[in-house]
Structure 1
């Protein structure tokens, strides 16, 4: 996953201690003017390189992050105040992807500043005696430390963002994806496990306690991804908080087909009228962006489809995961609805 391997970001104190302690060791290996030059070069390189590495470790949000992960990152970071303090006047400027970008930009500035300080004082050290060189080197250290301390809040903000994003689900936005939706206990996870033999494969997800249900299967050498998102598409939109709403919106970038499961048997514990209202809301959300939505009435072995007391289900398929009835038919219908054509390498 794109944020999983982000390294821990050092605080200003940690970075300064690292740079100066190594500089001290480098100085002990030399004598006279060379010792002062070696100390400055070591400290300057460690500070500038580490600051630059903090920035380059992150993907470019504009070019390297898919719309799915971009919107999830925005949703998560909107809830995270990036750093204990901020140079921003408005606390809102510290949140979201833009707040992270600003922190990375300030750290990049600090990396350039420390490079300039090192060059400036190395030039001075070449033209003086040892005692004066020692004074210049101490001045350089003070200025290096001052620059790093100026971006301490940004370093902490970046690490806060890293901690918030590193546990996002490992979902491939480029694979054709079937999203399974509907109230809890309607058979979604059983369906995913049955058709993919996933047996409870899950990925962590910041908005839920259960995690995302994941499964994969292949048809005609094409790998399909099935995703069940408990806590998002399993209850009405008005019951989601702001971050859950944005996360549900992010799934629009992921889904190539949506299966909405109903349980008319009553076994799920939710009135069928409420289930139909959720189905209609999900259909409106995804059909507006031309993602096909298929309604599946599950547990047909436990209810009578001709029961006139049931409201009109308008189901595309009747199915029973437990007995296997129409399970493969539903899966094939979803695959056909996606109509995925892999990109072929250019043939000259």
Structure 2
């Protein structure tokens, strides 16, 4: 299972759509004579334009049916993609899709308005009416030119979001830089860790996986989001943290009591307190680099470099998640 925005088709521009509709119509008309040729051209141009626009709309998942994690994350990503919109984010995306759907329906209405008139008129009248219909179809498509461009922008931003699975238990790893988060993730997860970037920042997200008792866990490291005080995050990054609130089943906040990481212990604990206040799941304080110092109150102490109590911390995270595998009922 991949994320819901993967595999979306490329969104055509208004110009591409008009060119495609009319070139196909010209070929269709060339195979027939008289009024029948004009009718065929009208039908082909209408179908190509309306079907392609409707396909743009129906290819997108129904936003309201998505997991809240993806709704929040998409809202943040699209908000960055549409900074000039009055109401950027998911609402803007919905509005753009709605406008394109309207245009698809309008093109069908134009065809229905003209098809019987084209069929009844003499050849010159039929040709004139067909040209009128073409001009109106082109106007409708061009009216949603900006909407098509906006959908293309959103698609490009969302197609590369990290593949995180809300239906699988997730342990989020937080803490200031250089406290040992990445080393821990690399140590306890498989070698196929995925590293991707959030589309709206240079921030990366690292997702590792491990299994315990036939349950697949995600270990999510979020450098650039949960590694500094909340007031230092911009609005889009704060919204990404909101997405993580929906995802996390437990949070491990790494602390370096030795201060070797370069950040005062007081600042590290303040970040821990902010995370505890925000996340409504178990938040465990993990004092890493215990070979250098244990001079802090923590839930667990370990040293990744010395391989001391790493498995114990992982087990504590599993216990905090307390996930039960759903098994089919016995017959």
- Relative to the length of structure 1, the TM-score reads 0.90
> Would you say 1:256 and 2:249 are equivalent positions?
yes
**Which residue number corresponds to residue 344 of structure 1?**
327
**Which residue number corresponds to residue 54 of structure 2?**
52
Give, in angstroms, the shift of residue 204 of structure 1: 2.2
Match of 1:118 among 86, 101, 111: 111
Give, in angstroms, the shift of residue 210 of structure 1: 5.1
Answer whether contact 2:72 2:240 (CA < 8 A) is retained: yes
Instruction: Render the CA deviation track for 1:35-76: whole Å, top value 9, x for unaligned.
Output: 11111111011000011011111111111x211111111122
CA distance in 2, matches of 1:207, 1:345: 41
Instruction: Render the CA deviation track for 1:244-288: whole Å, top value 9, x for unaligned.
Output: 1111121100000000101112221111111111111111111xx
Distance change (3 Å), C-alpha of 1:328 and 1:207? farther
Any stretches of 5+ residues in structure 1 without a counterpart? 84-90
**Which residue number corresponds to residue 332 of structure 1?**
315
> Would you say 1:92 and 2:86 are equivalent positions?
yes
**Which residue number corresponds to residue 86 of structure 1?**
none
CA distance in 1, matches of 2:59, 2:330: 35
Distance change (3 Å), C-alpha of 1:133 and 1:199? closer
Matches within 5 A, 1:221-260: 221-260=214-253
Answer whether contact 1:71 1:246 (CA < 8 A) is retained: yes
Moved over 6 A (4+): none
**Which residue number corresponds to residue 293 of structure 1?**
283
Give, in angstroms, the shift of residue 198 of structure 1: 3.3
Instruction: Render the CA deviation track for 1:157-201: whole Å, top value 9, x for unaligned.
Output: 211222222221111111100000000111111111111133653
Any stretches of 5+ residues in structure 2 without a counterpart? none
Give, in angstroms, the shift of residue 156 of structure 1: 1.4
CA distance in 1, matches of 2:183, 2:69: 25
Give, in angstroms, the shift of residue 78 of structure 1: 2.3
**Which residue number corresponds to residue 306 of structure 2?**
323
Match of 1:131 among 109, 118, 124: 124
**Which residue number corresponds to residue 302 of structure 1?**
292
CA distance in 2, matches of 1:283, 1:67: 20
Matches within 5 A, 1:212-223: 212-223=205-216
Match of 1:9 among 3, 11, 15: 11
CA distance in 2, matches of 1:206, 1:24: 41
Instruction: Render the CA deviation track for 1:281-339: whole Å, top value 9, x for unaligned.
Output: 111111xx2x0011111111122x3xxxx4xx220111011121111111111111111
Match of 2:259 among 256, 266, 276: 266
Give, in angstroms, the shift of residue 151 of structure 1: 1.1
**Which residue number corresponds to residue 276 of structure 2?**
283
Distance change (3 Å), C-alpha of 1:236 and 1:279? same
- Relative to the length of structure 2, the TM-score reads 0.95
CA distance in 1, matches of 2:237, 2:117: 57
CA distance in 2, matches of 1:260, 1:34: 72
Q: What SS class does the counterpart of residue 101 from structure 1 fall into?
A: helix
Give, in angstroms, the shift of residue 77 of structure 1: 2.2
Answer whether contact 2:36 2:119 (CA < 8 A) is retained: no
Answer whether contact 1:319 1:327 (CA < 8 A) is retained: yes
Answer whether contact 1:180 1:188 (CA < 8 A) is retained: yes
CA distance in 2, matches of 1:346, 1:71: 34
Answer whether contact 1:55 1:107 (CA < 8 A) is retained: yes
CA distance in 2, matches of 1:153, 1:119: 26
Answer whether contact 1:192 1:198 (CA < 8 A) is retained: no
Question: May I ask how many residue pairs the two structures share in their alignment?
Answer: 329
